[in-house]
């Protein structure tokens, strides 16, 4: 089959819910991927931060093959020899008390919504069916009906109503808005430490610490969605560490398996998770032994191979290099760790065309919110590879 045959198959037989760049990938290693024609690309999306450990990390590969030959799925009707070990290792690493394993990030979000609502009714004393959860404008927490119902992105919402009630939307990064939105029926505030899909929007330093204080004062559960920002992406294990706090509930996913297998988790530092009783929530695949074994190794290599420290060091270097690019197209450069963005002025004609130009030069990035190029390579990237990327970015962004 030639290149266009693969694209035609997708277009003819697949639902058109994505508009990918026309690159057909067939192999990956570290920060690099290759297409079906043998062309090599630097991956600067890392599957939306799911491949923090790099493509096809050899140790995670070995674990997956070994576990797949032993036991893959038991359901939670029975116990398995990997789940408890994963619980213990995650709790010790993140200072959590309890773990609820699921599969996708959206499932983790749905799980936490159920948990905090029940906590509100059984512990806080909120009247039946009156629980409120506060979220932020320009949030991205997933694609289920409940989640898109509290999105402010019309392309996510339009045509999918009616939506689940019980959510209040406030401006991101404004503590006074959070304080004003809280009522006696407020059970939780759910927020991303950095808004990734919105274009790597970073709140002022101390925002999470202030939010934690407001939530504690009002007996409101602070939920941090770290599905993209967690597991090293920002140069810390969890982004909350930049503000020196621990959330009541933390959501992780994506890089929890290094890109090998879907697994997510709700981490609890409060009694919230204790309100869930047998039969009230679950998933056939949640906590399966294959996912747990893979996650254990994915976490292990992240720590032992110092990928988090590398993200901090290389992130600063990459941000400095981006800031040095002289281009009339660039409105702003921002980032923390290896979660970076180049926002273009509207007159530049949109970020999509620049992502397409970068693809022809061997670099894969993702446009978001029309005018922003998002850059998030695997955490194993080197200085030399960043220099290589900066050359291509400069050539594409410098008007000729």
As a whole number of angstroms, the distance between CA 239 and CA 225 comes to 10
pLDDT band at 400 (very low <50, low <70, confident <90, very high): low
User: Looking at the predicted structure, is the pLDDT value of residue 169 above 70?
Assistant: yes
DSSP-assigned letter for residue 329:
T
In what helix (H) or strand (E) does residue 28 lie, and over which residues does it extend?
strand 25-29
As a whole number of angstroms, the distance between CA 25 and CA 39 comes to 9
- pTM equals 0.97
As a whole number of angstroms, the distance between CA 25 and CA 40 comes to 9
* Active-site annotation holder among 212, 254, 270, 366: 254
- Average of pLDDT values for 130-143? 98
- Average of pLDDT values for 300-305? 98
Q: Measured in whole angstroms, how far is the alpha carbon of residue 189 from the centre of its chain?
A: 18
What is the model's pLDDT at position 120?
98
- Average of pLDDT values for 221-239? 98
Pair 147, 106: CB distance under 8 Å: yes
Token pair of 252 as six digits: 């992780």
What is the model's pLDDT at position 182?
98
Q: Is the dihedral of CA 55, 339, 108, 231 positive or negative?
A: positive
- Average of pLDDT values for 142-150? 98
Vertex 43, ends 264 and 393: CA angle to 5°? 130
Indicate the length of the chain as a whole number.
Answer: 400
Instruction: Give residue-wise pLDDT tens across range 35-79.
Output: 999 999 999 999 999 999 999 999 999 999 999 999 999 999 999
In what helix (H) or strand (E) does residue 249 lie, and over which residues does it extend?
strand 249-252
Q: CA-based Rg of the chain, rounded to a whole angstrom?
A: 21
Token pair of 70 as six digits: 């032993």
Q: Measured in whole angstroms, how far is the alpha carbon of residue 304 from the centre of its chain?
A: 22
Percent of the chain that is helix, strand, coil (3-state, to 5): 40, 20, 40
Which residues, including other chains, have CB under 8 Å from residue 208's CB and lie 6 or more apart?
Answer: 191, 193, 224, 239, 240, 242, 243, 245, 247
* Active-site annotation holder among 43, 140, 150, 336: 140
Q: Of all residues in the chain, what percent carry a pLDDT higher than 90?
A: 98
Q: Would you call 140 a catalytic residue per the annotation?
A: yes
**Averaged pLDDT of the chain:** 97
Q: Measured in whole angstroms, how far is the alpha carbon of residue 82 from the centre of its chain?
A: 24
- Within a 13 Å sphere around the CA of 198, how many CA atoms are in the beta-carbon half? 19
If one compares 1 and 260, the residue with the highest pLDDT of the two is 260
Bond into 264 cis (ω within 30): no
User: Looking at the predicted structure, is the pLDDT value of residue 224 above 90?
Assistant: yes
- DSSP alpha helices (H): ranges in the chain? 3-13, 46-49, 58-68, 83-94, 105-119, 145-149, 154-157, 175-181, 207-217, 289-304, 307-323, 351-360, 383-397
What is the model's pLDDT at position 272?
94
Facing residues of 339 across strands?
336
User: Looking at the predicted structure, is the pLDDT value of residue 399 above 90?
Assistant: no
pLDDT band at 246 (very low <50, low <70, confident <90, very high): very high
pLDDT band at 144 (very low <50, low <70, confident <90, very high): very high
User: Looking at the predicted structure, is the pLDDT value of residue 121 above 80?
Assistant: yes
pLDDT band at 270 (very low <50, low <70, confident <90, very high): confident
- State whether residue 241 is helix, strand or coil: helix
- Average of pLDDT values for 247-264? 98
Pair 103, 260: CB distance under 8 Å: no
- Within a 13 Å sphere around the CA of 174, how many CA atoms are in the beta-carbon half? 11
* Active-site annotation holder among 35, 43, 225, 248: 225
User: Looking at the predicted structure, is the pLDDT value of residue 85 above 80?
Assistant: yes
């Amino acid at each position: 089959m030639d290149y266009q045959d693969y694209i035609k198959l997708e277009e003819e037989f697949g639902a058109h819910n994505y508009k990918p760049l026309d690159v057909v990938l067939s192999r990956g290693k570290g920060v690099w991927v290759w297409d079906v024609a043998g062309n090599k690309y630097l991956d600067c999306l890392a599957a939306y931060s799911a491949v923090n450990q790099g493509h096809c990390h050899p140790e995670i590969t070995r674990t997956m093959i070994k576990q797949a030959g032993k036991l893959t799925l038991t359901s939670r009707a029975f116990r398995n020899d990997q789940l408890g070990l994963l619980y213990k290792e995650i709790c010790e690493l993140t200072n959590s008390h309890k773990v609820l394993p699921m599969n996708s990030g959206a499932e983790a979000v749905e799980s936490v919504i159920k948990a905090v609502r029940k906590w509100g009714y059984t512990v806080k004393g909120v009247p039946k069916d009156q629980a409120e959860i506060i979220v932020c404008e320009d949030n991205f927490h997933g694609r289920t009906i409940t989640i898109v119902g509290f999105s402010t992105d019309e392309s996510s919402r339009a045509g999918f109503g009616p939506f689940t009630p019980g959510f209040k939307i406030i401006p991101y990064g404004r503590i006074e808005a959070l304080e004003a939105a809280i009522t006696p029926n407020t059970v939780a505030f759910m927020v991303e430490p950095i808004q990734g899909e919105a274009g790597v929007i970073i709140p002022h330093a101390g925002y999470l610490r202030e939010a934690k204080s407001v939530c504690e004062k009002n007996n409101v559960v602070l939920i941090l969605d770290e599905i993209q920002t967690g597991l090293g992406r920002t140069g810390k294990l969890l982004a909350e560490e930049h503000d020196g706090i621990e959330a009541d509930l933390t959501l992780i996913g994506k890089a929890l398996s290094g890109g090998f297998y879907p697994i997510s988790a709700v981490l609890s530092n409060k009694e919230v998770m204790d309100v869930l009783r047998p039969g009230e929530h679950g998933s056939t695949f949640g906590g399966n032994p294959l996912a747990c074994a893979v996650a254990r190794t994915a976490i292990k290599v992240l720590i032992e191979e110092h990928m988090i420290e590398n993200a901090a060091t290389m992130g600063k270097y990459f941000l400095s290099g981006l800031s040095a690019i002289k281009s009339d197209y660039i409105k702003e450069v921002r980032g923390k760790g290896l979660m970076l963005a180049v926002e273009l002025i509207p007159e530049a004609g949109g970020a999509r065309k620049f992502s397409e130009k970068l693809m022809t030069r061997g670099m894969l990035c993702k446009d978001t919110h029309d005018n922003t190029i998002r850059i998030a390579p695997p955490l194993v990237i080197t200085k030399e590879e960043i220099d290589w990327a900066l050359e291509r970015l400069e050539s594409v962004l410098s008007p000729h």
